[in-house]
Amino acid sequence: MARYDFTTPRLHVDAPLAEGGSVALDAGRTNYLRNVLRLAEGAEVLLFNGSDGEWRARIAKVAKKASELTCVERTREQEKLPDLVYLFAPLKHARLDYMVQKAVEMGAGRLAPVFTQHTQATRINLERMRANVVEAAEQCGVIAVPEVCEPAKLERVIDGWSADEPGRRLIVCDESAPVGSPIETLLALTPGPLGLLIGPEGGFSREEREMLLGHEAVVPVSLGPRILRADTAAVAALAVVQAACGDWR
Amino acid sequence: MARYDFTTPRLHVDAPLAEGGSVALDAGRTNYLRNVLRLAEGAEVLLFNGSDGEWRARIAKVAKKASELTCVERTREQEKLPDLVYLFAPLKHARLDYMVQKAVEMGAGRLAPVFTQHTQATRINLERMRANVVEAAEQCGVIAVPEVCEPAKLERVIDGWSADEPGRRLIVCDESAPVGSPIETLLALTPGPLGLLIGPEGGFSREEREMLLGHEAVVPVSLGPRILRADTAAVAALAVVQAACGDWR
């Protein structure tokens, strides 16, 4: 996979992208362009929409509440995101934002918040989470914005797991698993769609652990001898999974 | 390695720890005990000093500016920290604090700030960094406080690398390395002392890269196809190293 240019600002847009095509930005995105990125007419940005690849585009017009860009040339072909669903018990506020950004940066293809018995947060601001995912995708250069699923109870997600997507394995980071490197376990998996579940900071409840460990799709792994905070565990687990059976190979 | 109790507050102390022994806390630590942890006489904490293991201790006296604890029983034997030196180009302020905490949590045995040509920060508050390391060690349950080295220029560190510690390999996360999983490379290393170098966000300069790649101790690895922020790269690289050749095994 080619390295991308990460000095030029990147913007996710909904519009189709094609050579010479024009893309209009609304007031919010125009404000970002003018007042955050401080760009003026003639400056260049990178655009992506998740289906037409990444394009170098030039700012054709900037007014106070609207702007227009012209696609110049395609800089990257469209690729699919890794087929990796990242399931996580939401944390509170800033640490949740952080965890979501890191998951995007580490190449999660879909984000699925799950409520467990010991989950700290009881409600989720999905709009904020989605905006956060878009921003992270723009900044870290991934070529599409990962989907954010509606939050659901862990029990329901696990109940429907194999029926919804037969064959998708679910790697579960379980702090009660005997300490041992996850690498051998992960290298032994047949290539295919994956899920990765990080529990809440209070750990899974006994019932949840039994439900998980009894499920045919579940692959329990340890993340070493130290207790990790949930945001650290997210990056650590995604790194090991991407390195052993994801797109680092 | 045994799991530790992480619901009881932990304190790092300099005093020796032994059964029935008494440990005096100064005004600063007493303030932390009373006003942050909100503990009173009779409450229990865990103490560690990096050489006598971890002890359950009871608060015997708390006054405004001093307090005294009594060691009750040893809860963990002393262990050595992983023989892993984590070398990093300092970031600015809050993100540096965060990176340092994560390195401790991921089991770095020694922290070595290095200045590279593209390093953002030009000075380091070592006292703040050391306090941060102590706090992280207390919270994440490691049994000793990792040493923080004096900052040095990358060039000097690399010049003296093999003379200072013959046989210590230096894993270098190099974003110009061809993308490929680091796991095979890491699994093939002979067990022994390690260093892990994460470059600055601007990347290494051309001269630095040449110096590193030409060094006999250096093992270059890729961290996948996405550009990671330095704090993400720290956790990701430490996870893969601990899993493949560190204490996750």
Which residues of A make CB contacts under 8 Å with B? Answer: 1, 3-4, 6, 102, 105-107, 140-142, 175, 179-183, 187, 222-229, 232, 235-240, 242-244, 246-249
The pLDDT tens digits of the residues spanning B198-210 come to 988 888 999 999 9
User: What stretch of H or E contains B219?
Assistant: strand B218-221
Residue A183 C-alpha, separation from nearest chain B C-alpha, in angstroms: 7
Mark yes or no for CB contact B183/A243 under 8 Å: yes
Residue of chain B nearest A235, judged by CA positions: B236
Residue A191 C-alpha, separation from nearest chain B C-alpha, in angstroms: 15
What was the pLDDT predicted at A1? 31
Q: Which residues of A touch B181 (CB under 8 A)?
A: 243-244, 248-249
| Mode of pairing for the β-strands spanning A169-173 and B147-148 | unpaired
Would you say A97 and A104 are in contact if contact means Cβ atoms under 8 Å apart? no
* More confident: A201 or B187: B187
Q: Global pTM?
A: 0.91
**pLDDT higher than 50, residue B1:** no
Strand partners, A69: A23, A59
Which residues of B make CB contacts under 8 Å with A? Answer: 1, 3-4, 6, 102, 105-107, 140-142, 175, 179-183, 187, 222-229, 232, 235-240, 242-244, 246-249
**pLDDT higher than 90, residue B147:** yes
The pLDDT tens digits of the residues spanning B85-103 come to 999 999 888 889 999 999 9
Query: What does each C-alpha distance from A139 to A112, A133, B226 come to in angstroms?
Result: 21, 10, 11
Give DSSP secondary structure letters for chain A. ------SS-EEE-SS---TT-EEEE-HHHHHIIIIIS---TT-EEEEE-SSS-EEEEEEEEE-SS-EEEEEEEEEE---PPPSEEEEE----HHHHHHHHHHHHHTT-SEEEEEE-TT-S-S---HHHHHHHHHHHHHHHT-SSPPEEPPPEEHHHHHHHHHHHSTT-EEEEE-TTSPS--HHHHHHTSPSS-EEEEE--TT---HHHHHHHHT-TTEEEE---SSPPPHHHHHHHHHHHHHHHHSTT-
Residue entry with tokens 């006054």: B63
A110/A112 Cα distance (integer angstroms) = 7
Q: Residue B224, exposed/middle/buried by CB under 10 A (0-12, 13-18, 19+)?
A: buried
Mark yes or no for CB contact A232/B182 under 8 Å: no
Most B CBs within 10 A among A229, A235, A247, hence the mutation to make, goes to A235
Residue A2 C-alpha, separation from nearest chain B C-alpha, in angstroms: 8
Residue A159 C-alpha, separation from nearest chain B C-alpha, in angstroms: 30
Mark yes or no for CB contact A232/B4 under 8 Å: no
Mark yes or no for CB contact A105/B229 under 8 Å: yes
Mark yes or no for CB contact A243/B237 under 8 Å: no
**pLDDT higher than 70, residue B3:** no
- CATH numbers and ranges of domains, chain B: 10-76 (2.40.240.20), 84-245 (3.40.1280.10)
Residue of chain A nearest B247, judged by CA positions: A224
* More confident: A6 or B35: B35
Residue B223 C-alpha, separation from nearest chain A C-alpha, in angstroms: 7
What was the pLDDT predicted at B5? 57
Q: Which residues of A touch B142 (CB under 8 A)?
A: 226
* More confident: B128 or A202: B128
- Distance from the Cα of residue A59 to its chain's centroid: 28
Question: What average pLDDT does range B65-84 have in this prediction?
Answer: 96
Mark yes or no for CB contact B182/A248 under 8 Å: yes
**Nearest CB neighbour to B243, from listed A142, A181, A227:** A181
**pLDDT higher than 70, residue A2:** no
What was the pLDDT predicted at A5? 56
Q: Which residues of B157-179 are buried (b: 16+ CB within 10 A; e: fewer)?
A: bbeebeeeeeebbbbbbbbebeb
Residue entry with tokens 């493949």: B244
User: How many CB atoms are closer than 10 A to CB B134?
Assistant: 15
Would you say B156 and B115 are in contact if contact means Cβ atoms under 8 Å apart? no
**pLDDT higher than 50, residue A103:** yes
Q: Whole-number mean pLDDT of chain A?
A: 92
- What is the percentage of chain B residues whose pLDDT exceeds 70? 98
Q: Which residues of A touch B105 (CB under 8 A)?
A: 226, 228-229, 232
Q: Which residues of A touch B140 (CB under 8 A)?
A: 226-229
What was the pLDDT predicted at A6? 62
B128/B111 Cα distance (integer angstroms) = 13
Q: Which residues of A touch B238 (CB under 8 A)?
A: 236
User: What stretch of H or E contains B210?
Assistant: helix B206-213
The pLDDT tens digits of the residues spanning B120-143 come to 777 899 999 999 999 999 988 899
- Distance from the Cα of residue A115 to its chain's centroid: 18
Q: Which residues of A touch B233 (CB under 8 A)?
A: none
**C-beta contacts of A63-68 below 8 A and 24+ residues apart:** A63/A30, A64/A30, A65/A26, A65/A27, A65/A30, A66/A24, A66/A25, A66/A26, A66/A27, A66/A30, A67/A24, A67/A25, A67/A29, A67/A30, A67/A33, A67/A34, A68/A22, A68/A23, A68/A24, A68/A25
- What is the percentage of chain A residues whose pLDDT exceeds 90? 78
The pLDDT tens digits of the residues spanning A119-156 come to 877 789 999 999 999 999 998 889 999 999 999 999 99
Cβ contacts below 8 Å, chain A against chain B, sum to 117
What was the pLDDT predicted at B43? 96
